[in-house]
């Protein structure tokens, strides 16, 4: 019997949580509800979900604080997080992405959009990528084992950053526009803004440390991964 994708719903409003849980069940998911950060942590300690739906405004600990906490922990670092928020201003959305969310959806939202976004983050978790190892300028990626290292030092990347790096490394030296990256890395990008790409490129560079210089911004065009960053201008920040 096929295992249903497990979704941890962290939402303190029972009416919203019930609506989300019912729709998840009807769409082939196995939802688990937690009303606050403490209950969510217990669920995570018991069984890791395939994706977390995380409300921004929670009692005690905010969703942003929880996202940062889970991204910093090795066990939960790779679990995709979709932030549910009533905050529609761009700085708030970017703050959620910077905290570790892979995507966000603004309340009120349609259940169809929510399901589409969940399917999109799950596709990102299991991307169609190169199936062999790729090494460029000391940066090594193994798609089979999901490991990345630079000069033989292992690096920790989130699921979206891993797929983004995988795509850039398998198409090295080419310039990719934000729209192209949304299409190739995010797949069903109808709900996702191009600014999301910049946020994840920034997070990728931070995770790569010294190897972050290999990811270049090409002004007015997009991004590329190059083995010869010293031959070009210093990369601009995303």
pLDDT greater than 50 at residue 234: no
Residues 6+ apart with CB under 8 A from 137: 211, 214, 227, 228
**153-179 confidence digits (pLDDT tens):** 999 998 889 989 999 998 888 999 988
User: Which of these three, 92, 125, 158, is where a domain ends?
Assistant: 125
Single residue among 100, 125, 150 that ends a domain in this structure:
125
Q: What's the pLDDT at 40?
A: 95
Same domain, 27 and 56: yes
Note the pLDDT of residue 65: 92
Q: What is the pLDDT of residues 173-209, one digit of tens each?
A: 899 998 888 877 876 544 667 788 999 999 999 999 9
Average pLDDT in the 15-27 region?
94
Whether residue 39 is found in the same domain as residue 100: yes
User: How many domains are there within the chain?
Assistant: 2
Considering the domain architecture, whether residues 83 and 144 belong to the same structural domain is answered as: no
Mean pLDDT of the chain: 85
Are 101 and 163 within one domain?
Answer: no
Residues 36 and 93 in one domain: yes
Are 53 and 110 in the same domain?
yes
- For the cut 90, the answer to whether the pLDDT of residue 27 exceeds it is yes
Q: Which of 125, 141, 168 is where one domain is finished?
A: 125
Instruction: Give the per-residue SS3 of 192-211.
Output: CCCHHHHHHHHHHHHHHHHH
- Tell me whether residue 1 is in a domain: no
Q: Are residues 103 and 137 in the same domain?
A: no
139 shares a domain with 114: no
CATH of the domain at 86: 3.40.50.2300
163: in domain: yes
Q: Do 44 and 79 belong together in one domain?
A: yes
Judge whether 237 lies within some domain: no
Q: Same domain for 200 and 177?
A: yes
Tokens 């399901």 sit at which residue? 115
- Has residue 222 been placed in a domain? yes
- Domain membership flag for residue 99: yes
Asked if residue 82 and residue 139 are part of one domain, the reply reads no
List, as one string, the DSSP characters of the chain. Answer: -PPPPEEEEE-S-HHHHHHHHHHHHHTT-EEEEESSHHHHHHHHHH---SEEEEESS-SSS-HHHHHHHHHHSTTTTTS-EEEEES--SHHHHHHHHHHT-SEEEESS--HHHHHHHHHHHHHHHS----SSEEEETTEEEETTTTEEEETTEEE---HHHHHHHHHHHHTTT--B-HHHHIIIIISS-TT--THHHHHHHHHHHHHHGGGGGGEEEETTTEEEE-S-GGGSPPPPP-
In a shared domain, residues 117 and 141: no
* Model confidence at 99: pLDDT above 60: yes
Stretch 94-99: mean pLDDT: 80
Residue 126: its pLDDT value, please? 54
* Position 236 in a domain: no
Percent residues over pLDDT 90 in the chain:
45
Examine residue 119 and state whether it is found in any structural domain, yes or no.
yes
Instruction: Reply yes or no on whether the pLDDT at 127 is more than 70.
Output: no
Q: How confident is the model at residue 129 (pLDDT cuts 50, 70, 90)?
A: very low
Domain assignment of residue 19, given as a range: 6-125
pLDDT reported for residue 1: 55
Highest-pLDDT range among 80-94, 97-111, 204-218, 224-238: 204-218
Residue 238 belongs to a domain: no
Report the CATH number that the domain containing residue 144 is assigned in CATH.
1.10.10.10
């Amino acid at each position: 019997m096929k295992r249903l994708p497990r979704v941890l719903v962290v939402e303190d409003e029972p009416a919203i949580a019930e609506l989300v849980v019912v729709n998840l069940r009807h769409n082939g998911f196995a939802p688990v509800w937690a009303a606050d950060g403490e209950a969510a942590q217990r669920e995570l300690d018991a069984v890791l979900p395939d994706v977390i739906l995380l409300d921004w405004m929670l009692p005690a600990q905010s969703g942003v604080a929880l996202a940062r906490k889970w991204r910093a922990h090795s066990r939960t670092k790779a679990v995709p997080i979709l932030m549910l928020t009533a905050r529609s201003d761009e700085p708030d959305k970017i703050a959620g992405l910077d905290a570790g969310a892979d995507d966000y959806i603004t309340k009120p939202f349609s259940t169809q959009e929510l399901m589409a976004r969940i399917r999109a983050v799950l596709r990102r978790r299991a991307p169609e990528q190169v199936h062999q190892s790729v090494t460029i300028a000391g940066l090594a990626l193994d798609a089979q084992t999901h490991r990345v290292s630079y000069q033989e030092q292992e690096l920790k990347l989130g699921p979206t950053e891993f797929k983004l790096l995988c795509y850039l490394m398998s198409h090295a030296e080419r310039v990719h526009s934000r729209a192209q990256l949304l299409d190739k890395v995010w797949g069903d990008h109808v709900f996702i803004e191009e600014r999301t790409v910049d946020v994840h490129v920034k997070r990728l560079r931070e995770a790569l440390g010294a190897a972050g210089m290999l990811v270049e911004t090409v002004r007015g065009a997009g991004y590329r991964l190059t083995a010869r960053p010293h031959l070009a201008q210093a990369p601009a920040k995303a």
